[in-house]
A and B are shown apart, each in its own frame.
Chain A
Amino acid sequence: MTDWNRQKAGLAERFASGRAYAAGKTVPIAKLPAFLEAVLRPGDRVCLEGDNQKQADILATALADVDPAKIHDLHMVQSGVVLPEHLDVFDKGIARRLDFSYSGPQSARIARMLFGGKIELGAIHTYLELFGRYFIDLTPQVALIAAVCADRDGNLYTGPNTEDTPVVVEATSYKSGLVIAQVAEIVDKVPRVDIPGDLVHFVVEAKKPFYVEPLFTRDPAAMTETQILTAMLAIKGIYAPYGVRRLNHGIGFNTAAIELLLPTYGEALGLKGRICTHFALNPHPTLIPAIEAGWVEQVHCFGSEVGMEDYIAARSDIFFTGPDGSLRSNRAFSQTAGLYACDMFIGSTLQIDLQGHSSTITASRIAGFGGAPNMGSDPRGRRHASEPWLKAGAEADPGTPASLRRGRKLVVQIGETFGDGNASLFVEKLDALELAAKLKLDLAPIMVYADDVTHIVTEEGIANLLLCRDRDDYEQAIRGVAGYSEIGRARDKKMVERLRERKVIQRPEDLGIDPLDADRRLLAARSIKDIVRSSGGLYRPPSRFRNW
C-alpha cells in the first residue's frame, strides 16, 4: 500500500518535536539551536530569508550554531547570500548545496568558497526563476523567515519589507513544510495580517528588528558629470523617442541620476506625463523630487528602503500601502510586473563583450544576478501592445508584416566606459567564461544576453543594437561607444561613421547635447539634505548619509 501523505506525517512529527521547546507557538531565543536541531533533518531543503534587503539574522546565527553532527548536508535555497552566517553554515558542514540569486555583500567570500569546493552549487538564478522553482523542484521543507511582529496566533506583519516572504511561505507551508518566523516582538494585534497564522508554525521573539541592508540610496553628492551626461543621453535619446512610461530602473548611480534629472532636464524637454509615469522600483530616495513634481503616477516595490517609510505612508496615491498605511512590497509580483508590464529595463553592469553579452561576475567576485536577467529579458509571452514595444519591434524586424510582428522590450545597459578602479567596461572576453570553466558550469553566468540587449549608453553615445543587421554591425556599434578603452580605440573608424549615419550610433551632438552642459546643477537634488527637503522632511536617511 502506497502512503500518499508522508510529508504531512513528517510535518506533524517535526511540529511535535518543536513543541517541546515552545510555549504556544513561541520559542525562546535561548532554546533556538536545540529547537532547530529538533525540527531539522539532515539533507533538508531550507529557505533562510536571505532576501535582497531584510535578513532573518537571529535565525541565521542560530542555524550556524547547530551541531553539524546532528544537522548536516542541508540544501540551502534562498534569494540572497548576504550575512556571513549564510556562508558559515557551509564552512561548518551544516550545509552542502546552494541555490540562490544574489550575493553582493558576500561576493568575494562566496567566490573563494566555490573555488575551494566548500559549496556544491546548484545554480545562480534570477529571483522570479528561483521563486518559480520553489513550487516545482526546489520546494523548501523548512522556511526560516523574517517578520516585523506576530500575534499569539502566529499572524505576521511583514510591513514595508515584505519582499519574498509571501512566496516563500506559500510554497513551503502548502507543501507540508515547516515555517519558523523571527519577529521583533509579539503583540496583541498586528497592524495588518501579511501572513496568516495558519501557515506559520513557530515564532521567535528577537526583541530587536531584523537586519536590513540599505541598498538603493545613492548620494547625489557623489554623482559625476559623466553620469549626468549618460543620464541626459538616456532621457533624450531613448526615453523620449520611444515614449517610455512604464519601466524599471536597475540599481546604480546612472539611473539615480536619471531620476534626479526628470524635474529639471526632463521638464525642459517637455516630457512630463510622457515618460516615467509607472515604475516597478524599490523606493529610491532619488525619485522623490520627480514624485513631488508630479511625474509619477504609481510605483510598485520589490522591497522597501531604509528611511523611506514615513514618506511612502504619506504618499499612498503613489505607492502600494495596506489598510494600516505602511508600504506593502512584494518581490515576486514586482518581478512579474517588470517582466510583462514594463516597456523598459535600464541598468548598469560590470562587463560587456563584443557580442553584447553583459555580466557582473569578475575573477574574484560572484555577486549573482538578482532581478536583472528577468527585468532585462524580452518576454515572448507578452501580448498587449504599447508604443515603445511596437516601435522597438519594428526597428528589430522591419521585414515582418506588422500584425505578425511582436514588439520588443527595451533593455538598456548604461555606464561609463571606465568603471571603478579605472577598469574598462568593454572587454574581449568576459570573466564569466573563465569562471564557468573553473567551476565546470554548463553555462557561463551571463546577466543579460546580447539578443536581449537593445541599447548601450555610455558617455560617448548610444548604440542601438535593434538596428544592427549582422555581427560586424554589432561589433562596431559596441566599439563605437567604447570610448578610449582598448576595445574602443580598435574601432573601424569608417564603419563607425557609417553606423552613425544610419543612427545605429548617436553621439551627444547628434542629439543636441553638449557634454559641457552635463553639470551637477541640473540635478533636482544635489545632496541627501536636498532630498530630505524635497520630501518635506518625511524622508529620514540612514546615519551614514548625514552631513548635519
Chain B
Amino acid sequence: MNSSSVLLGLAGVLYGAAPIMFAVIGETITERAGVINLSMNGTILLSAMGGFAVAAGTGSIVLGFLAGALIGALVALVVAFSSITLKQSQVAVGFVLALLCRDLSYFLGHAYISKAGPRLITIPIPALSGIPILGTLFFKHDVMTYLSFVIIFLVWFWIFRTRPGLMLRGIGERPAAAFVRGADVNRLRYLYTIIGGAIAGLAGPTFSLSVKAGWAGPLSGLDGYGWIALSITIFGGWNPFRAALGVYLFSFLQWLGLVLQPFLPSIPTQVLQVAPFPLMILTLMLVNISDAEWVERMLAAMPERARRWMMKLFRTLRASPPASLGVPFESE
C-alpha cells in the first residue's frame, strides 16, 4: 500500500464520518439540555429514507436535506412532548421510536428501493485543496463533510463561549438554579431537543445522498449506526471536540478493518466491520470506571507514584454526564 492511497483512505475516513458526526453532535446538544433522545437509530434511518425520497422525487438535494432535518426535528418533538409535557420515561419513548421509525422507513421506503436519485458532488475548495496532504485530507469533499467539520467548532463555541450556551449547560446540570436565574427550563429543553434532533436528522440524508448513496431498505446497512452514535456521545463526554475524536476513531477503525481484510483472510469482513463496537464498550468502561467503588479501593491500596499516575489517567478519560440528564424538571 503506497502513501497516496493511505492519504485517500484517511480522507475517506473523514468523509465517511460525516453522518455519524451530525448524529453525535445533535445528541450532545440534546443531552446537554438534560434530555436523552434514544431514538437516534430510527431517526437516522427514517431521515435517510425520507431525505432520499424527497430528493429523488423533486430532484432537489437541498430539499432532501431539509426533509431529513424536519424528520429529525419531528421525532425529537415526540420525545420532548412525551418526556417534558407528559412526564413519561424518555428511555421508553425513545426506544419505541427507535424501532418504530426504523420499521416506518422500511415500510414507506419500499417503493424507493434501488431507485435512481441525486448525489452530492465533490467541491474542492479553491487554493486550499492544492496544499499537499492537507488539501486532499480536508478540502476535497462535498458540502456536508465541510459542514461536519464546521459544526464541531460552532457547537463547541455555542456551548462553552456564549451566554445562551451557559444557560444550556445550566438547564442540564442544575435546572432549578437556571430557573431561578430566569430560564424557562422546559421551553429551552423543548428547543434544544428539537434543534439536536434536526441536526441528527441531517445524518440520514448524508448517508443516502452521499456516503452510502441510494436507498436499499434493510440492505442499506444503516441499521446500528444510531446506537453507536449514542455510545460515542457518552465517550465524547458531552464535549463536541472529544465527541468528534470519538467519531473519527470509530470511522478510522472501520476503515482499518477493511484495509486489514486481505491480510486476515480467516476473519470474515462482517466481523472486522463490527470490530469497533466492542472497542467502543471498552472505552465506555474506561470513561466510567473511576466512579466504581472497587476502583477507588484498588487505587487507595496502590503505591503513591502509581496511584497518582492512574488518577491522572482516569481524570483525563473521565466524563461525567450533565447532572440532571434524564431527570424531569418541575418548577414548583
Query: Are A and B part of the same complex?
Result: no
A-to-B contact residues, CB < 8 Å: none
